[in-house]
């Protein structure tokens, strides 16, 4: 599945969010809720797809990633790579079951409240982006 970006230009407050989720209905749901509250959203169906996007030089403020996905890396591994190479990008990990003892940061448990999560992610992205 290829990545998709929201139509139009980035929003004025710099809320640029990369959603990484292999389950299409979950990904579409959170992406639409984010767009509804003003975020510029890019969707990826795997951590590998997300890493390719970031490696191409595209900028985001927040990565919202599932942990367990198909591909060569998990969401936790993606988060660790981002922390090493792009420390300004905030990563929020979500999972119904996190089986990785190396991850010590908070994890948003699935299922999560979509609208409240979208609003919180946009607030975080705007703080990370600073003044527009």
Q: How far is CA 50 from CA 1, 13, 64, 94, in A?
A: 12, 22, 10, 15
Kindly list the strands in the beta sheet with 107-109, ordered across the sheet, starting from the edge strand earlier in the chain. 4-5, 40-44, 16-20, 62-66, 90-95, 107-109
CATH architecture of 4-129: 3-Layer(aba) Sandwich (3.40)
Output the pLDDT for position 98: 72
pLDDT at 96: 86
Question: What is the residue-level pLDDT of the chain in tens, covering all 132 positions?
Answer: 344 444 444 444 469 999 999 999 999 999 999 999 999 999 999 999 999 999 999 989 999 999 999 999 999 999 999 999 999 999 999 998 876 666 777 789 899 999 999 999 999 998 887 654
Residue ranges of domains in the chain:
4-129
């Amino acid at each position: 599945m290829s990545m998709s970006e929201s139509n139009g230009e980035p929003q004025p407050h710099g809320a640029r969010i990369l959603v990484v989720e292999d389950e299409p209905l979950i990904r579409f749901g959170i992406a639409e809720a984010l767009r509804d509250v003003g975020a510029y959203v890019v969707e990826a169906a795997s951590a590998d797809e997300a890493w390719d996007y970031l490696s191409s030089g595209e900028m985001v403020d927040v990565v919202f990633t599932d942990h367990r996905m198909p591909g060569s890396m998990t969401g936790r591994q993606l988060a660790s790579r981002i922390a090493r190479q792009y420390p300004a990008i905030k990563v929020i990990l979500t999972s119904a079951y996190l089986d990785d003892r190396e991850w010590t940061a908070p994890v948003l448990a699935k299922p999560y409240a979509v609208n409240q999560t979208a609003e919180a992610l946009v607030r975080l992205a705007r703080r990370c982006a600073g003044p527009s």
